[in-house]
Amino acid sequence: MFEKLDQIFVTLKHLVLGYVPEALQPLVSAVLSVTLILSVFPGIFAIVTIFERKGIGRIQNRYGPNRVGIPFTNIRLCGFGQFIPDGIKSLTKEDIVPRAADRVVHFLAPIVMLIPVLLAYAVLPFGRNMTVADFDAGLLFFFAVGGAVEISVFMAGWSSRNKYSLLGAMRAIAQMVSYEIPLILSAVTVVMIVGSLKLVDIVAAQNHYTFGIAHWYVFTPWGFVGCILFFIASLAESNRSPFDLPEAESEIIAGYFTEYSGFKFALFFLGEYLGMFAIIGLGITLFLGGWTSPVSFLTWIPSYVWFVTKMIAIVFVFIWIRATLPRLRMDQLMNLAWKLMLPLALINIVVAGIWHFMGPDWQRWLVCAAIIFGAYLVLGRGLMRHQKLGKRTYRYAE
């Protein structure tokens, strides 16, 4: 019965495809899968915006939104109906294009933002047998389309003809280019160990258990470091706090989408969150076992439930980080990427090699952990060397 529940979407799809002539089957199959993704992930986006506002509110000892529920009733749903009026509002707002803007590029930028983000979902395994396009080079495809987001950011910033937009776009490019390197290098370790770029294979390699605990890569020294590096880099890639310099409200209004209004603004917002979900989904697939269960006695829970649960959990951690850390300065941002994360990711690749060639002995745990911990200590010292924390002194004001 649980088997059936696990495969319910796959079975349903095959059922529908049975009624379609054979020539149309690939097309209908693709449309069905895309429809599911297009309905589920924006839905999660809508809920997550409320979770984010409520979570940050609670962390700051406020209530957060708790009014809007089902319209025309007194049911409030703890404010989880808020996204409906928000969506209606952004749909009905005036769409303003600056007179000096490059109208075509300005119009295209949010679309160019959204399409690669949605394409990235094609290769993610959401559950057992639930991958839209099971590429052999799925990981490569993911990073390739992810790189296209930078173009849309610069299109938006450049076409707006606004100094804040351009500043935001330039910051975004600098940040995304810098953080893409540790992002990809930390993912490379998994490819080295699994020996495949196919995401389904990567999940399958993590899907066995010792003493009831899954073989997720986050439970190995190199995987742990890789996972943390990956998620820090993905925070930066999705422009989330503390790496939200491209849209730093206090400095440059809204960064590259300052000149966008109405639904185009909402599209940027949507694109950003969908990008975040996609990159979290990849992180889960690489290090947190994808759709597999962490312990063997919970394997009866459907695989897609595990995937979404893990994704929401990581999103919560991201919200928690957002509520904790202040925004980095540009030089701090670059120092973190180039002086800490890049060397650590490179060392991590070596460690993954050592792990692979030392065989399944217990010594490899010790050696790998020691190398990583030593490297982290040394690099951390280097990063903190010029830090002088203490009481602030003023030169003129007293």
Partner 1 sequence: MLGEQIIKGMAVTARNFFGSYVSKERLTTVQYPEERLVPKENTRQFPFLVYDGDDAEKGLRCVACQICEKECPPQCIYIVKSKDKKPDYKGQPQLYPLTFDIDISVCMSCSICVEVCPFESIKMDTEFELSTDDRFAGLLLHKQDLAKPNSHYHQVHAQDAKDSDAVIAGEKAKAEAKARAAAEKARAEAEAKAKAAAAAAAPAPAAPPPPAA
- Residues near partner 1 (CB under 8 A) are 55, 58-63, 320-321, 323-325, 340, 376-377, 379-381, 383-384
Shortest spacing between CB 343 and partner 1, in angstroms: 13
Shortest spacing between CB 57 and partner 1, in angstroms: 8
Name the residue among 38, 67, 71 with its Cα closest to residue 50.
67
Q: What is the rounded distance in angstroms from the CA atom of residue 217 to the CA atom of residue 284?
A: 10
Question: What tokens does 13 get?
Answer: 């799809």
Helix axes 103-120, 149-159, angle to 10 degrees: 160
CB 175 within 8 A of CB 336: no
Name the residue among 186, 200, 214 with its Cα closest to residue 352.
186
Q: Is 354 exposed, middle or buried (0-12, 13-18, 19+ CB in 10 A)?
A: middle
Place of tokens 């937009």: 165
Cross-strand pairs, 130:
127
Q: Is 202 exposed, middle or buried (0-12, 13-18, 19+ CB in 10 A)?
A: buried
Rg (CA), the chain: 23
- Cβ distance to partner 1 smaller for residue 68 or 122: 68
Name the residue among 191, 228, 190 with its Cα closest to residue 340.
228
Q: What is the rounded distance in angstroms from the CA atom of residue 353 to the CA atom of residue 350?
A: 5
Q: What is the rounded distance in angstroms from the CA atom of residue 211 to the CA atom of residue 103?
A: 61
Shortest spacing between CB 380 and partner 1, in angstroms: 3
- Cβ distance to partner 1 smaller for residue 27 or 384: 384
Q: Looking at the chain, how many residues does it have? A: 398
- Cβ distance to partner 1 smaller for residue 76 or 163: 76
- Cβ distance to partner 1 smaller for residue 143 or 376: 376
- Cβ distance to partner 1 smaller for residue 63 or 300: 63
- Cβ distance to partner 1 smaller for residue 229 or 266: 229
Place of tokens 């996972």: 227
Shortest spacing between CB 385 and partner 1, in angstroms: 11
Shortest spacing between CB 77 and partner 1, in angstroms: 16
- Cβ distance to partner 1 smaller for residue 54 or 198: 54
Shortest spacing between CB 224 and partner 1, in angstroms: 14
Shortest spacing between CB 327 and partner 1, in angstroms: 14
